[in-house]
Amino acid sequence: MHLDKAKKRIAKQVKKGFHGYPLVSLEYFGKTPDSATEVVVSFTEEEGADPQKQTFVSGGDAREDETIQSTLVKIIERADAKTVTEIEGISTI
């Protein structure tokens, strides 16, 4: 999947807002606020459940890594997530 297409599909899911569970949350991390070297995906199946987390690391900016973005789309689809959230900006490591 192309990078732009993957990013648009993720953004579309995020814009929908909260529609219940399962919920997938995306948070980007980096050493500087300009470049995200990691993305943490949290999957919560139902309210009150502990989230399952998976981290993806990129040599460059994870937001511009086609493989990572395509993988995030597949995770969202396979989890049949009703809600997708994304933490704004980049959290510093």
How is 9-30 classified by DSSP, letter by letter? HHHHHHHT----SSEEEEEEEE
Question: Residue 68's domain spans which residues?
Answer: 3-92
- CA distance linking residue 10 with residue 76, whole number of Å: 8
- Can you give the pTM of this predicted structure? 0.92
Total domain count, the chain: 1
Q: pLDDT per position in the chain (93 positions), as tens?
A: 899 999 999 999 999 999 999 999 999 999 998 999 999 999 999 999 999 999 999 999 999 999 999 999 999 999 999 999 999 999 998
Count of CB atoms within 10 A of residue 80's CB? 8
